Amino acid sequence: MSTISVRIDESLVDAARAAAKAEFRTVQGQVEFWAKVGRAALDNPDLPASFIAESLMSLAEPREDATPFTPRSTAAVQA
């Protein structure tokens, strides 16, 4: 993947720096994450931004760390 330089308002970079530290990302990674969330939110206006962000984070997790999804309703039916 190639990279390019862009000019970003210093206050946005400061906010990205603080969020990146909390999320264990680089500043560049944080800005890229925000851009992906924003693009997905515009493409899916009916979905909450928090759902989009959590979905993108889960997609980035290694597959071997994933656990199968079991709906709560399945447990109630089996009981």
Mean pLDDT, range 66-77, rounded to an integer: 73
DSSP class per residue in the chain: ---------HHHHHHHHHHHHHHT--HHHHHHHHHHHHHHHHH-TTS-HHHHHHHHHHHHS-GGG------HHHHHHH-
* pLDDT > 90? residue 61: no
* pLDDT > 60? residue 52: yes
Summarize pLDDT for 2-30 with one digit per residue, the tens.
888 999 999 999 999 999 999 899 999 99
Instruction: Measure the CA–CA gap between 59 and 62, rounded to whole angstroms.
Output: 8
Tell me the whole-structure pTM to 2 decimals.
Answer: 0.69
| Structural domain spans, the chain | 10-60
